[in-house]
Amino acid sequence: MILDELRTTDSARLDRAGQVYLDYTGGGLYADSQLREHLDLLTQGVFGNPHSQSPTSAASTALVERARAAVLAFFDASPDEYEAIFTPNATGALRLVGEAYPFRPGDRFLLTFDNHNSVNGIREFARARGAETTYVPSTAPALRVDTGQLERYLDVTPGEHHNLFAFPAQSNFSGVQHPLAWIDRAHSSGWDVLLDAAAYVPSNRLDLSRVHPEFVAISFYKMFGWPTGVGCLLARRDALARLERPWFSGGTIVAAFVQRDYHQDAPGAAHFEDGTVDYLNLPAVEIGLRHLERIGIETIHANVTALTHKLLQILTELEHCDGSPAATVYGPRSGDGRGGTVAFNFLQPDGRIVDERYVERIASRHGISLRTGCFCNPGAGEVAFTISRETLIGGTFDDAMTLDDYVRAIGLPSGGAVRASLGLVSNAADVEQFAEFASEFVDLAVVPDDLPPRLAC
């Protein structure tokens, strides 16, 4: 199969280095061929800062525009309907929307508990402009949203206001895939929709001819590993026209004066791309997208789905010799409506959670890269660990406290979950190695206490 072949040719360095990579939601892996193609392009051409008439500038502009067209084509987004705006990452895309969304007093910002902090942070822009933020809870243990409850929230739309609804297409905590049907449903009640697709698009097809969210945020390194430092805001042209940028900068305007308080905005995507775009890395986006197309996103999806099923089976069947469970999974335990991101904790025979720092230590011994904590998604974590609002309000978290102090103060059994995520060149051997690693936690009664301090949640 094409993915096995890629693993042994284009991504051979993984096995050569004995690495078991299970952090695709953190970042994807590039293939050697992507780097070669990119390097060939850079070594054969001469490229200058874009947006001028010189030959070297025009050469860069042409590549940037080709990358833009490739992004729109990859997501089946009609150029008549969508603009592709290059940003430093998904966070940059989310910030563009947050800072420019025309929130006013009486407007609403609605979002799911299950969101990355880069979406949660938009509530600060909403607050500054007098809009009200409302969270829709997820429900344990599957960590899905009750659609009936969401509909009740969506139906509260006060008149002719600007109302923004934000959710992730796939949770970076639990792998839950929230229904894209919510987009049309939200539209029917007058909401604009911000879809955080960062964790979804690396192994799922997002077809913007079928769903039409106003805004979509992605990071390319999560899709194909290289380049880092480039993301995109796919934005509907009609929605872009309603945004109000809080400033202008080099590249975003046609003209500005100093002695007269006037500037004229640049049209289209340029108005949202501050300064010089990453013009030497943008050609690698086109190369990366071509790489995915050659493999086929459906092929990647099928591989990730099958391996996720196996990983879930390993965790849900892991038992101590007295028959008690040796792991607990947060989120869906079956393969339906979920992606390849699995959050869990190992359990000791007496039911206590195995400290995630110890798990990370053992994972490193096995050459396994995974992640621990709350993955910048506190809402999903609060539901997974049944941390109540009262607990959070009652407990102080001040500058004098370390994260460890806080975890102790609010009585958490650990500093968070363990996350394993599968992607582009994951294979059955990776999952087998994971199973071997997981078996180390069977009948584990004592966890050493020489663990390092926690640095991030």
For ligand PLP, the binding residues (CB under 6 A) are 25, 89-91, 116, 118, 168, 172, 196, 198-199, 219, 231
Instruction: Give 196 or 360: the residue with its C-beta nearer to ligand PLP.
Output: 196
Q: Is 71 helix (H, G, I), strand (E, B) or coil?
A: helix
Instruction: Give 90 or 329: the residue with its C-beta nearer to ligand PLP.
Output: 90
- Which residues in 132-170 are b (16+ Cβ under 10 Å) and which e? bbebbebeeebbbbeeeebeebbeebeeebbbbbbbbbb
Instruction: Give the Cα separation of 444 and 308 in Å (integer).
Output: 25
Parallel, antiparallel or unpaired: strands 132-136 and 108-112: parallel
The answer for residues whose C-beta is within 8 angstroms of residue 40's C-beta and 6 or more apart is none
To ligand PLP, the closest distance from the beta carbon of 182 in angstroms equals: 16
To ligand PLP, the closest distance from the beta carbon of 46 in angstroms equals: 30
308: left (phi over 0), alpha (psi -120 to 50) or beta: alpha
Instruction: Give 120 or 348: the residue with its C-beta nearer to ligand PLP.
Output: 120
Whether 418 contacts 346, CB under 8 Å: yes
Instruction: Give 7 or 178: the residue with its C-beta nearer to ligand PLP.
Output: 178
To ligand PLP, the closest distance from the beta carbon of 61 in angstroms equals: 25
Instruction: Give 168 or 415: the residue with its C-beta nearer to ligand PLP.
Output: 168
Instruction: Give the Cα separation of 406 and 29 in Å (integer).
Output: 34
Q: Is 274 helix (H, G, I), strand (E, B) or coil?
A: coil
Whether 373 contacts 357, CB under 8 Å: no
Q: Which two tokens stand for residue 343?
A: 């959050």
* φ and ψ at residue 222, rounded to 5 degrees: -75, -25
Catalytic residue among 232, 321, 376, 457: 376
Give the containing element (helix H, strand E) for 438.
helix 428-439
To ligand PLP, the closest distance from the beta carbon of 91 in angstroms equals: 3
Q: Which two tokens stand for residue 191?
A: 């909401």
Instruction: Give 217 or 354: the residue with its C-beta nearer to ligand PLP.
Output: 217
Provide the residue type at 174 as one letter.
S
**Cis omega (within 30 of 0) for bond into 283:** no
Instruction: Give 83 or 196: the residue with its C-beta nearer to ligand PLP.
Output: 196
Give long-range contacts, CB 8 A cutoff, 24+ apart: 385-393.
385/412, 385/413, 386/140, 387/412
Q: Kindly state the DSSP code that residue 153 receives in the 8-state scheme.
A: H
To ligand PLP, the closest distance from the beta carbon of 118 in angstroms equals: 5
To ligand PLP, the closest distance from the beta carbon of 119 in angstroms equals: 7
Instruction: Give the Cα separation of 370 and 20 in Å (integer).
Output: 9
Which of 247, 220, 250, 266 has its CA nearest to residue 93? 220
Give the containing element (helix H, strand E) for 300.
helix 297-317
Q: Say whether 376 is catalytic.
A: yes
Instruction: Give 7 or 116: the residue with its C-beta nearer to ligand PLP.
Output: 116
To ligand PLP, the closest distance from the beta carbon of 277 in angstroms equals: 16
Instruction: Give 26 or 283: the residue with its C-beta nearer to ligand PLP.
Output: 26
Q: What is the residue whose two structure tokens read 């028959």? A: 323
Q: What is the residue whose two structure tokens read 């080099």? A: 250
Instruction: Give the Cα separation of 343 and 138 in Å (integer).
Output: 15
To ligand PLP, the closest distance from the beta carbon of 113 in angstroms equals: 13
To ligand PLP, the closest distance from the beta carbon of 152 in angstroms equals: 25
Residues recognised as catalytic: 376
